[in-house]
Amino acid sequence: MKTITLYTLVALFFAASDVSSDGGATSTPAQQRAAEDLKQAVDERLTSAAKKVPERPGDFSMVMNGAKLFAKNCAQCHGPRAEGFVNWRQRDASGNFPPPPLDGSAHTWHHPRRQLVNTIKNGGRAMPAFGSKLADTEISNIIDYLLSLWPDEIYAVWAERNAQFEKRSQ
């Protein structure tokens, strides 16, 4: 996204101005209209993209509480920034996979919220259960924290899939 924005700004600069021989910038009415049209198109695109990303759950205090709970309960396996193990796709000597990243770079976003809650509560193959240690609200805060780490594109896809899963589950 940053690259696209940079190219857009460069395009706007060249569309809006023509550098004269004395170093001053001049622009014709046609160039000004073209720059305005381009700016409007970019603004519409950015507004449209922003609308496609649903609002993330949890307020700031919930997300921050989730970050603290993650640091206390999860970071020792999943990494302090939820980055997981480097070789998380390779089985260990026991045949288990090491803890994966939870930052949106692995498969966590493929699972609906309900499944994420269940995994935290009941554990998984090599993951311990936290259901007796963490309250439901604490588990929800941890998930909200993880969702806050995900890139907008990943979160938007997850939110749509999660909504579809919830609709089918009713």
Per-residue pLDDT reduced to its tens digit, 105-154: 999 999 999 999 999 999 998 899 999 999 999 999 999 999 999 999 99
Distances (CA, A) of 167 to 87, 110, 113, 134, 163: 35, 16, 13, 27, 6
Any idea where the domains of the chain sit in the sequence? 2-52, 60-169
Residue 25's SS3 state is strand
Asked whether the predicted pLDDT for residue 4 surpasses 80, the reply is: no
Least confident of 32-41, 58-67, 135-144: 32-41
In the prediction, which pLDDT does 140 show?
Answer: 97
Q: Are 86 and 140 in contact (CB under 8 A)?
A: no
* Mean of pLDDT over the chain: 83
The 10s digit of each residue's pLDDT in 85-100 is 999 999 999 899 999 9
By CB neighbour count within 10 A (0-12 exposed, 13-18 middle, 19+ buried), where does 10 fall? exposed
Residues 6+ positions from 64 with CB-CB distance below 8 Å: 145
Residue 25's DSSP bridge partners are 19
Which of 3-7, 40-44, 52-56, 134-138 is predicted most confidently? 134-138
Distance of CA 46 to the CA centre of its chain: 17
In the prediction, which pLDDT does 45 show?
Answer: 59
Token reading at 160: 């749509």
Token reading at 135: 């309250």
In the prediction, which pLDDT does 43 show?
Answer: 62
Report, as an integer, the average pLDDT of 75-88. Answer: 95
Asked whether the predicted pLDDT for residue 16 surpasses 90, the reply is: no
Q: Are 45 and 64 in contact (CB under 8 A)?
A: no
Q: Which residue from 92, 107, 97 is spatially nearest to 150, judged by alpha carbons? A: 107
Q: What is the distance between the alpha carbons of residues 32 and 27, in angstroms, rounded to a whole number? A: 6
Q: What is the pTM of this model?
A: 0.69
Q: Which CATH superfamily is domain 60-169 in?
A: Cytochrome c-like domain (1.10.760.10)
Work out whether the CA dihedral 118, 122, 123, 129 comes out positive or negative. positive
Asked whether the predicted pLDDT for residue 13 surpasses 50, the reply is: no
